[in-house]
Amino acid sequence: MFVWQPDDNNFDDDLGDYWAAIVKHLESPVRHSLESFILPVDHDNIRVFREALNGPAGRNTNRSINQAPDFWDDKISNANLKHNKIAREMLGVEDGARSQTKWGAFGEMQLPWHYWLEYLKCNTQRRLDMLDILHASSARDAECHDSNHSCFVWNISQNCSKEKHRQAKAGIASCINPSGDPFLPNAHYCPSVRSDLCPDL
């Protein structure tokens, strides 16, 4: 985002057009996919992050998540619920269809083996439901993809009405910034650990 204030309130100032032209001129195709920039699963930063999620801070967040009643309970006022309901209705997916996360009230969930359980235990039911919605969207696309085996970047900090399961152009990620929460459904895994020995990872 680029913001400027024109001198003397002169809104005929062409600085904005000039800036847009510079950005357009600097455009160049990337040589590597987004996954090339992701740290390997055995990197120290990843290990420290996952340990922190399992530590006091993560357990404290998880405790509040486990106390949350059912997100779909209409008796509970939740401004975000309508976005999830509308998205499911447009897809033709039932409210209780939760193929990816099998989430429920009070911390109930059953995740694909390659998802980070310690990370998703700290996420709200709204976000878990969003993962199910986006997964269903990718499967029902004109060119269907299983999100467990395809590169998607989902900002789960947004509502379902704002975040799409894919961008209009293949290989383009939505804006990645510190306030967002990008989730790559096929990359949250630990291939060095056998899932049958450690199903919670």
Mean pLDDT of 102-131: 90
pLDDT at 188: 58
pLDDT above 90: residue 37: no
pLDDT, greater one: 37 or 81: 81
Token pair of 153, please?
């970047």
pLDDT above 60: residue 168: no
pLDDT tier at 132 (50, 70, 90 boundaries)?
very high
The C-alpha atoms of residue 122 and residue 178 are separated, in whole angstroms, by 18
The C-alpha atoms of residue 108 and residue 81 are separated, in whole angstroms, by 18
The C-alpha atoms of residue 1 and residue 135 are separated, in whole angstroms, by 30
Maximum average pLDDT range among 41-50, 126-135, 191-200:
126-135
Are 41 and 192 in contact by the 8 Å Cβ rule? The answer is yes
pLDDT at 192: 36
pLDDT tier at 196 (50, 70, 90 boundaries)?
very low
Any idea what DSSP says for residue 154? E
pTM over 0.85: no
Domain ranges of the chain: 39-183
Maximum average pLDDT range among 20-34, 91-105, 145-159:
91-105
